[in-house]
Amino acid sequence: MIENEKYLDRALLEYCNSDAYPFHMPGHKRQTMGNWNCEAIDITEITGFDNLHHAEGILLKAQQRAAQTFGADESFFLVNGSTAGLLAAVCGTVKKGGRLLMARNCHKAVYHAVYLMELQTEYLYPEQTEFGIQGSIAPEEVQRMLEQYPDTQAVLLTSPTYDGVVSDIAAIAEIVHAHQIPLIVDEAHGAHFGFSERFPKKAISYGADLCIESVHKTLPAYTQTALLHYRKNPWVDLERVKRYLGIYQSSSPSYVLMAGIDRCTRILREQGTTLFAAFEQQLHDFYQSCENLQYISVFPENGNDDGIWDRDSSKILICAEAVGLHGQDLADLLTQKYHLELEMASGHYATALTSIMDTKEGFDRLFAALEEIDQSFHDGSDDLEKENGQQIFTTDAIYRPAKKVMKISEAMDAPKEKVKLLESAGSVSGEFVYLYPPGIPILAPGELVTPEILDALATCQKRNMEVQGMKDFSGIWLEICQDNVS
């Protein structure tokens, strides 16, 4: 036995008994939602409890309730997360070797579907913003790309993004449907949309044909639970999508997870109005308090930016560059000193994810911590790297347009050799390189490695950001395609 070995179950119990507060997913925020004994309800497909892959009884009714509650024509439980829904949506709408028009800031799961189906990809790049985050996808750009690539079989967007940025889905859906193809929206971070006027409406209500939502991210549900919503349309072969759901989902779906989705539906139907009203007030009070911070900046509650069509204010974006703290520095300080765990840190900001299950105490603790940090530091902005008065290392500096040399499937299956990552300029990447979270590729297989991309990765590593995707967990070595080494 390893000395001081700690088992996961005991480590989790120890952690949940601490004063750590979660400004991260899952959306239940570790709040008890019922007196469940998980072992007692952990069953398999026994008499009276239906079968998710052949739902005719209680699970069919549960999915129908979800569809009615979330505003879809049909909804499907996902116990392998939004990942399973994205894989099924792409594989179910784009034929093998076909062309997909997708936002470049899609989650890695979309790229995995591209690999599995050996797809050709064309990218939609988000607009730039003053705050330095990735903005919306412009409808005009969708129109331009569809005219340039008329053989496109589907369009896929991420809305909202990890930062809460929403695109004009109604306008984009109209453009996409004029080309008689489906619009898929990764709305993983927007499951709470549509239940309050404060938040944007759901993509499915704006004309999206397939929409994937992670109920566990922003609603009271267990990690790994999500929904695939379908709107009746002539462009999606629903039976084909369902076939892929059967492939990418476990043949032994957890009844604990499925019951968690159904309970979430019940909470929304019975308590949603009250919970969202309290949540709205807590968010408003927090943002109002943050207006008094001198150096730390919080993206405003109702603040839109050039390049942002709409935004979800439940994602709290905090920039402390003016006190000398980069995104990861701020997240680390909040964790270590104040026991507040944030969802994500990027180059110049950190993100606190909130939900209807957050408490007033949690919001008060976060503001008190920011206020203390704000008052404890001098204005160190003159010492920060700047260019033309703007912070250099924004999100746009991390996620740069990359040149495609090979299809993702060709690059992933090509012969490889290892080179040092920071010496790989001019080569073609044979693997993904991304920050996790959010899981958006900085480099995808088949893309040319440029000095600018390497500069961004070097800065990410210098700031202790989570650079992942490479087989080499140390981040030193990159696999490149042998036949395309310059």
Same domain, 333 and 196: no
User: The domain spanning residue 411 has which CATH number?
Assistant: 3.90.100.10
In a domain, residue 393? The reply is: no
User: In terms of domains, do 113 and 16 share one?
Assistant: yes
Identify the H or E element spanning 217.
helix 215-218
Residue 451, domain member (yes or no): yes
pTM: 0.95
Full domain range(s) for residue 261 = 8-267
What mean pLDDT is predicted for residues 30-37? 86
Q: Note the pLDDT of residue 305.
A: 80
CA-wise closest residue to 346 among 439, 280, 417, 281: 439
The bridge status of strand 340-342 relative to strand 21-23 is: parallel
Residues 373, 453, single domain; the answer is no
Provide the number of structural domains found in the chain. Answer: 3
Q: What pLDDT, in 10s, does the model give residues 306-341?
A: 899 999 999 999 999 999 999 999 999 999 999 999
Quick: pLDDT tens for 426-450.
999 999 999 999 999 999 999 999 9
Is 126 inside a domain boundary?
A: yes
Q: Is the dihedral of CA 365, 371, 372, 377 positive or negative?
A: positive
pLDDT, tens digit, for every residue of 250-265? 999 999 999 999 999 9
- 260 with 277, same domain: the answer is no
Has residue 388 been placed in a domain? no
391 lies in some domain: no
Considering the domain architecture, whether residues 369 and 447 belong to the same structural domain is answered as no
Whether residue 283 sits in one domain with residue 224? no
Domain end residue (candidates: 267, 297, 324): 267
- The CATH code of the domain that includes 13 is 3.40.640.10
Q: Are residues 72 and 182 in the same domain?
A: yes
Residue 349: which CATH number? 3.90.1150.150
What pLDDT, on the 0 to 100 scale, is given for residue 328?
96
Q: Domain boundary at 267, 302, 318, which?
A: 267
The residues facing 479 across adjacent strands are 418
465 domain-assigned: yes
Separation between Cα atoms, residue 475 and residue 436, nearest integer Å: 13
Q: What pLDDT, in 10s, does the model give residues 66-114?
A: 999 999 999 999 999 999 999 999 999 999 999 999 999 999 999 999 9
Same domain, residue pair 413 and 374: no
Q: Residues 71, 183: one domain?
A: yes
- How deeply is 364 buried, as exposed, middle or buried, from its count of CB atoms within 10 A (0-12, 13-18, 19+)? middle
Examine the domain organization and report whether 64 and 120 are in the same domain.
yes
Please indicate, yes or no, if residue 169 is contained in any of the structural domains: yes
Rg (C-alpha) for the chain, rounded Å, is: 22
The dihedral of CA 414, 431, 82, 205: what is its sign?
A: negative
Of the residues 232, 267, 302, which one is the last residue of a structural domain?
267
Q: Is residue 334 part of a domain?
A: yes
Strands (E), 117-172: 120-124, 152-158, 165-166
241 and 347 housed in the same domain: no
Q: Could you tell me what percent of the chain has a pLDDT over 90?
A: 90
Residues 65 and 208 in one domain: yes
